[in-house]
């Protein structure tokens, strides 16, 4: 990220306004001021530029770094793995995710107050110095995206192991913030992943000087009242809230189908089932399936989808799961509980649709769908699923009346250094 100081001289002739003070940035409501100084420590810039706004004919300072950064707002954040799929299955995975969080901290006005990383979820109490959820969501999106690459490589997986969005709750005062700091820290014991009173290495309790958590924002915001509330929360082990399992409380395994449909329609700006745009329907069905695990046929029935368009809709829904949720073809078919007589034909139709939609080469599409394509073994390329590739080429050539060579070119099949005769070989197979 580039380092910007935005020391603005806006002394336009004739306005009568003075020049902003040296070493300051002029507040712009249409711009994200949280990036004024580039890097953050405990949510604030150590060498921060003052942010000023016009006041009469002069200026007044309204914050340092992120605008309004003198007082943070506090949030509880839950990152949930998909049901039955551990998102942090090993100690190495948990440790790597904590490094992802540490790596993202310098770029956003965010400070971690407490955290715990468990097998299938991670919980945080975080302060946001821009006083909105925007930086918080960007911060966790960066950490999650970095971790997803590691997860897919290490655990031979395709796609994101997280549920679609972090669950974020605004904490209103010192007592609630202190309470949630302690609730988050006690989750390892509540979930049975740590002995009661024992040390758990992937939690803010006892993390040491090089940990990712800090209470600077909490102390600055609440002072003595906050310290008293925190001390009371840490000493109170009787109240039910301190034995609450956040996973079951915040995110049961799946939503009820009617609730999933209602919430998804609202998220997509569709307030009635009768007026869902055709291009949005596959996205809605894919999201409802992710939230409720309901079969494709049952979702279609609830949404009053007619039988004549169901196959095309099924194809597009599978594509949404592959592109949007980064699922493999087999996972998508299993998640939608499709009753398919000819799965191979469905795969071919999906590959052709993805090629037309994205313009990707066939090897890229195979990788997205979780199909093997090729590997270099001992300096020689070994190809897999060539029979399927040939069937796709023949189908497109026959249905669209295109020459085989033209179809091969459109699918991005090329000669390579390891296989200089790839195009001729595939063309020969197609005769």
Secondary structure of 326-367 in HEC code, one letter for each residue: CCCHHHHHHHHCCCCCCHHHHHHHHHHHHHHHHCCCHHHHHH
Residue 375 pLDDT:
84
Confidence of residue 35 (pLDDT cuts 50, 70, 90): low
Pairing mode of beta strands 24-26, 50-55 = parallel
Q: Is the pLDDT of residue 399 over 90?
A: yes
Helices and strands per DSSP (H, E), number in the chain: 16, 9
List of residues 6+ apart from 259 with CB closer than 8 A: 292
- Which residue reads 């199909």 in tokens? 371
Confidence of residue 346 (pLDDT cuts 50, 70, 90): very high
Phi-psi region of 262 (alpha: psi -120 to 50; beta: other; left: phi over 0): alpha
d(CA 175, CA 15) in angstroms, rounded, equals 48
> Helix or strand or coil: residue 269?
coil
List of residues 6+ apart from 110 with CB closer than 8 A: 40, 43, 126, 127, 128, 129, 135, 136, 139
Strands (E), 37-120: 50-55, 58-64, 73-80, 110-117
Residue 200 pLDDT:
85
Confidence of residue 392 (pLDDT cuts 50, 70, 90): very high
Confidence of residue 274 (pLDDT cuts 50, 70, 90): confident
Residue 397 pLDDT:
94
Which two structure tokens, joined as six digits, stand for 217?
């924002």
pLDDT (mean) for 8-37: 57
pLDDT (mean) for 151-167: 79
pLDDT (mean) for 17-43: 67
Confidence of residue 130 (pLDDT cuts 50, 70, 90): confident
Q: Which of 135-139, 175-179, 417-421 has the highest mean pLDDT?
A: 175-179
Q: Is the pLDDT of residue 115 over 90?
A: yes
Residue 16 pLDDT:
41
Strands (E), 302-377: 374-377
Q: Is the pLDDT of residue 245 over 80?
A: no
Residue 5 pLDDT:
34
Q: Which of 212, 187, 220, 211 is nearest to 74 (CA)?
A: 220
List of residues 6+ apart from 380 with CB closer than 8 A: 418, 419
Confidence of residue 216 (pLDDT cuts 50, 70, 90): confident
Report phi then psi at 195, rounded to 5: -70, 145
- Which residue reads 């949630």 in tokens? 180
pTM of the model: 0.55
Q: In what order do the strands lie in the sheet with 73-80?
A: 110-117, 121-128, 73-80, 167-171
Which two structure tokens, joined as six digits, stand for 163?
């549920």
């Amino acid at each position: 990220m580039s380092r910007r100081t935005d020391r603005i001289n806006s002394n336009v002739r004739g306005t009568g306004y003075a020049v902003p003070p040296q070493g300051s940035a002029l507040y712009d409501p249409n711009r994200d001021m949280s990036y004024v100084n580039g890097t953050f420590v405990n949510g604030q810039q150590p060498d921060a530029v003052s942010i000023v706004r016009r006041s009469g004919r002069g200026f007044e300072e309204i914050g340092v770094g992120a605008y309004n950064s003198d007082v943070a707002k506090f949030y509880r954040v839950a990152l949930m793995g998909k049901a039955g799929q551990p998102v942090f299955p090993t100690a190495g995975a948990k440790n790597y995710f904590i490094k992802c969080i540490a790596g993202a901290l310098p770029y956003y006005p965010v400070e971690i107050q407490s955290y715990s990383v468990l097998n299938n979820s991670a919980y945080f109490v975080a302060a946001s110095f821009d006083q909105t959820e925007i930086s918080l969501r960007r911060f966790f999106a960066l950490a999650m995206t970095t971790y997803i690459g590691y997860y897919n490589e290490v655990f031979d997986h395709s796609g994101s192991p997280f549920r679609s969005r972090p669950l974020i709750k605004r904490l209103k005062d010192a007592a609630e913030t202190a309470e949630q700091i302690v609730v988050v820290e006690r989750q390892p014991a509540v979930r049975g992943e740590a002995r009661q009173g024992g040390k758990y290495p992937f939690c803010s309790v006892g993390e040491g000087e090089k940990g990712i958590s800090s209470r600077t924002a909490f102390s600055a915001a609440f002072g003595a009242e906050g310290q008293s509330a925190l001390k009371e929360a840490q000493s109170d082990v009787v109240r039910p809230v301190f034995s609450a399992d956040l996973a079951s409380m915040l995110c049961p395994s799946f939503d009820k189908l009617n609730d999933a449909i209602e919430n998804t329609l609202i998220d997509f700006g569709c307030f009635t089932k009768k007026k869902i745009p055709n291009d949005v329907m596959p996205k809605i069905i894919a999201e409802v399936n992710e939230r409720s695990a309901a079969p494709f046929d049952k979702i279609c029935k609830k949404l009053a989808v007619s039988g004549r368009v169901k196959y095309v809709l099924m194809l597009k829904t599978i594509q949404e799961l592959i592109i949007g949720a980064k699922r493999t073809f087999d996972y998508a078919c299993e998640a939608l509980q499709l009753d398919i007589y000819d799965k191979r034909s469905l795969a071919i139709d999906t590959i052709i649709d993805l090629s037309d939609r994205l313009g990707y080469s066939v090897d890229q599409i195979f990788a997205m769908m979780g199909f093997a394509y090729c590997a270099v073994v001992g300096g020689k390329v070994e190809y897999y699923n060539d029979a399927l590739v040939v069937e796709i080429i023949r189908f497109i050539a026959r249905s669209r009346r295109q020459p085989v060579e033209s179809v091969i070119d459109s699918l991005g099949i090329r000669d390579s250094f390891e296989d200089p005769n790839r195009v001729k070989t595939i063309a020969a197979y197609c005769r």
